Structure 1
Amino acid sequence: MYAYQGPQAYARISLESRVAGATPHQLIAMLFEGACGAIAHARIAFAQGNVARRGEMISKAINIVDNGLRAALDHQKGPTIAADLERLYDYISRLLMQANLHSSLDKLAQAEMLLRDLAEVWQAIAPHKQAGQP
């Protein structure tokens, strides 16, 4: 009667719970986490020679950057920083596309490094850190 759904079902429920209780700042952190995770999976696919999986994971990372991180930019509240981040996200998306198109681990690594640096800065400016909390 009940079909086994396995670990994926638990992971999905866990993610849904995290998203439901997250602050806007935490949601952006989750987007960085998701993009970096997709790139890590693409790197594994590179090593395994799995071109289809590599493309799927790079596409997922591009989608998160373009439809998550870029879409969340508030050009009204911070036009200068939003414009700078818009250009950086566009550059990261292009790096990811080139990494897939040209089978370039270097471009994939560069995109990942930029996203990890941004994620680190994002964590450093977390509201609870500004209030002096751990």
Structure 2
Amino acid sequence: MFGSRQTGVHAYAKVGMETGVIAASPHKLIVMLFDGALVALNGALNGMRNGDIGEKGKSISKAIMIIDSGLRAALDKNAGGDIAEGLDALYEYMSARLLTANMNNDPAILEEVQRLLTELRDAWNAIADTPAATGAQPTNLASA
């Protein structure tokens, strides 16, 4: 009559995620993209290890979509210069590697992309409290 319990759980999780997105800073949104891609890669690894071709393919496709339509699309190559160009090339490499992992059923490639994304996420988190990331003005200690 009211739907399955699992459906309710998914609906609640979706509302929580949407609320988090609305309230998130641009910096936090990028972290959420990294996290989403990593969750998708975990699903792909599980699908690959369990012989679940559908789960593997769906999860790899989701990771590629997050990398290409989220992380790559968020790059500002004019303002970011060489760093943005380098990240663009790295994201393109990751997407190509994920296609290869899917075709060859190679978990080592998925793990390689996971490591790369984790390193980038950790670096991104390391700058979270800088004035540039928060939008705050730097404190001038000389005038205090």
Query: How many residues in Structure 1 have an aligned counterpart in Structure 2?
Result: 129
Supply the AA of the counterpart residue of 1:53: E
Q: How does 1:106-121 map to 2 (within 5 A)?
A: 106-121=108-123
Structure 1 portions without partners, runs of 5+: none
CA distance in 2, matches of 1:80, 1:47: 38
Q: Does 1:57 align with 2:59?
A: yes
Supply the AA of the counterpart residue of 1:39: L
2:81 aligns to what?
A: 79
Identical residues among aligned pairs (%): 42
2:40 aligns to what?
A: 38
Superimposed CA distance per residue, residues 36-72 of structure 1 (whole angstroms, 9 cap, x where no aligned partner): 0000011111111001110000000000000000000
Residue 2 of structure 1, CA deviation? 4.6
- Secondary structure of the corresponding residue to residue 78 of structure 1: helix
Supply the AA of the counterpart residue of 1:38: A
Supply the AA of the counterpart residue of 2:56: R
2:9 aligns to what?
A: 7
Give the TM-score of the pair, scaled to structure 1: 0.92
- Secondary structure of the corresponding residue to residue 92 of structure 2: helix
Structure 2 portions without partners, runs of 5+: 132-144
RMSD: 1.2
- Secondary structure of the corresponding residue to residue 77 of structure 1: helix
CA distance in 1, matches of 2:97, 2:63: 11
CA distance in 2, matches of 1:91, 1:49: 26
CA distance in 2, matches of 1:83, 1:76: 9
Residue 76 of structure 1, CA deviation? 1.5
- Secondary structure of the corresponding residue to residue 77 of structure 2: coil
2:127 aligns to what?
A: 125
CA distance in 2, matches of 1:86, 1:6: 38
